Amino acid sequence: MSEPKIAGDRSIKLELEPGTYWWCACGQAQKQPWCDGSHKGTDFNPLKYEVTEAKRVSLCACKHTKNPPLCDHAHRELPGYTPKPE
């Protein structure tokens, strides 16, 4: 399988309302972290993310998390990462 494009080097923090969301797994979507169909023709598919109650989440932007779509700080292990205040 191909490597995803790194869309960001830190998490994307959002307040989400209940609903169904489609998280971009390829890293190519223009409106991260949500899928816009940019994965078409690649090995990637978006990930369905169900939210049952309003909550604040930290979503992965580097696309290397082991717990998609949530950030597990995998971006800190990527080559060239420079720590910045989050």
The residues spanned by each domain of the chain are: 12-66
Q: What is the pTM of this model?
A: 0.90
Please list, in sequence order, all residues whose beta carbon lies within 8 angstroms of the beta carbon of residue 51, skipping any fewer than 6 positions away. Answer: 16, 17, 18, 19, 20, 21, 57
- Structural tokens at position 35: 């899928």
- In tens, the pLDDT along 7-26 reads 999 999 999 999 999 999 99
Q: Are 86 and 75 contacting, i.e. CB atoms less than 8 angstroms apart?
A: no
Is pLDDT above 90 for 85?
no
Q: Are 40 and 31 contacting, i.e. CB atoms less than 8 angstroms apart?
A: no
- In tens, the pLDDT along 35-83 reads 999 999 999 999 999 999 999 999 999 999 999 999 999 999 998 888 7
Specify the pLDDT at position 82. Answer: 81
Strand residues in the chain grouped as ranges (E)? 12-16, 19-23, 47-51, 55-59
